[in-house]
Amino acid sequence: MNPAPRVAIIGAGIAGLSCATHLVQHGCTVNLFEKSRGPSGRMSTRRGEGWQCDHGAQYFTARSPEFRAEVARWEAAGAAASWPARLAVLGEHDARVPDAALQRFVGTPRMTAPARLLARQLSLATQTTISGLARDEAGWRLASVEHGPLGQRFDSVVLAVPAPQAVPLLGAAPALAAIAAGARMRACWALMLRYAEPLALPFDAAFVNSGPLRWVARDSSKPGRHAPDTWLLHACAAWSEDRLEQTPETVAAALLEAFAAFGARTPDSWSAHRWRYADTEPAIDRGHVLDAALGIGLCGDWLKGGKVEGAWLSGRALAAAMLAAP
Ligand code: FAD
């Protein structure tokens, strides 16, 4: 009997976790490597004393039958729930109108929960930033910033990281490097606001169609949150890109001024976060990339529409293609 294929997956966001889960379910031995302290990537939550706030993905939708079934599993495990938010549109009303009938889900009690649920069944090394990949006759070898060369050998390697972070790791696969280099990912400034007394605004979340903001949400209105009134503001991509190197104070002042124009008062405290690679523009719908001969593949939201569902589908599709490859 052949030994189980050994696969290294770099990145424990929802794409890497989905890919790993599918490969493990089909008999592969999978090791996940993640540079942060925990899994979930951009499905993330900032936590402080007595408060929390989802500052990356805000909610997810489930349009495909496969992802709907997965979300049902997360709901059954208490890791996700529907968020029946009172939605508004601010600014120019016709520019972007939300679909009120669409079911929106969030991780519970925070956005990291689905990833943590998946990671429980997997072998995950955190605080391990992969800095090099090399292939010889024994397979793929990895090196990390924190631990230097890693001892294991792998038959295949998967890069489940944002495209710009994949490029420097793809020296051994120039065709894949060219694909990743062709994806343009855009930035997003996020501002988390805390209020001791709730803000009297008549909505839980709003799509903003003018000025620097594009989305505001009362994080504490999501199911399973027990924190005091916490709000999240996301800035537009173009506005964020132009201010990528500005200080959090400068960015916060501009975003708070824009929020005040919609009736919000000054928060008791705030924190900012700069996402360098929030979304992909223009969107790509390749699904995944696999060089079966070399034993290397790419997955992630950037290859499948740029959302949580796309990331999960991309990881799963790559796993299926790897299992089907000779
Ligand atoms: P990621 O989540 O980015 O995972 C990649 C992982 O790889 C990360 O954990 C990273 O730390 C790790 N990594 C990178 N380089 C290395 C390395 N060298 N070594 C080891 N690990 C590495 N989606 C929605 O569906 N709805 C939304 O409302 C929504 N809003 C968003 C708002 C913002 C501000 C942002 C940033 C994203 C939003 N998204 C939203 C997108 C959603 O978060 C992503 O589509 C999805 O989480 C991407 O998953 P992923 O696994 O492809 O990538």
Structure tokens at 287: 């699904």
Q: Give the ligand 1 atom nearest the CA of 190.
A: 34
CA of 12 to the centre of ligand 1 (A): 9
Q: Whose CA is nearest to atom 6 of ligand 1?
A: 11
- CA dihedral over 69, 72, 77, 83, signed as positive or negative: positive
**pLDDT value at residue 97:** 67
Q: Give the ligand 1 atom nearest the CA of 234.
A: 34
The best mutation among 301, 303, 304 to test binding of ligand 1, ranked by most ligand atoms within 8 Å of the C-beta, falls on: 301
Q: Give the ligand 1 atom nearest the CA of 17.
A: 51
| Spatial separation of the C-alpha atoms in residues 162 and 141, rounded to whole Å | 21
Task: Confirm if 55 and 217 have CB atoms less than 8 A apart.
Answer: no
**pLDDT value at residue 95:** 61
pLDDT digit string (tens) for the chain, length 326 residues: 567 999 999 999 999 999 999 999 999 999 999 999 999 999 999 999 989 999 999 999 999 999 999 999 999 999 999 999 999 999 876 666 677 789 999 999 999 999 999 999 999 999 999 999 999 999 999 999 999 999 999 999 999 999 999 999 999 999 999 999 999 999 999 999 999 999 999 999 999 999 999 999 999 999 999 878 999 999 999 999 999 999 999 999 999 999 999 999 999 999 999 999 999 999 899 999 999 999 999 999 999 999 999 999 999 999 999 999 97
**pLDDT value at residue 161:** 98
**pLDDT value at residue 326:** 79
| Spatial separation of the C-alpha atoms in residues 47 and 110, rounded to whole Å | 10
Q: Whose CA is nearest to atom 46 of ligand 1?
A: 308
CA of 196 to the centre of ligand 1 (A): 30
**pLDDT value at residue 91:** 86
**pLDDT value at residue 100:** 73
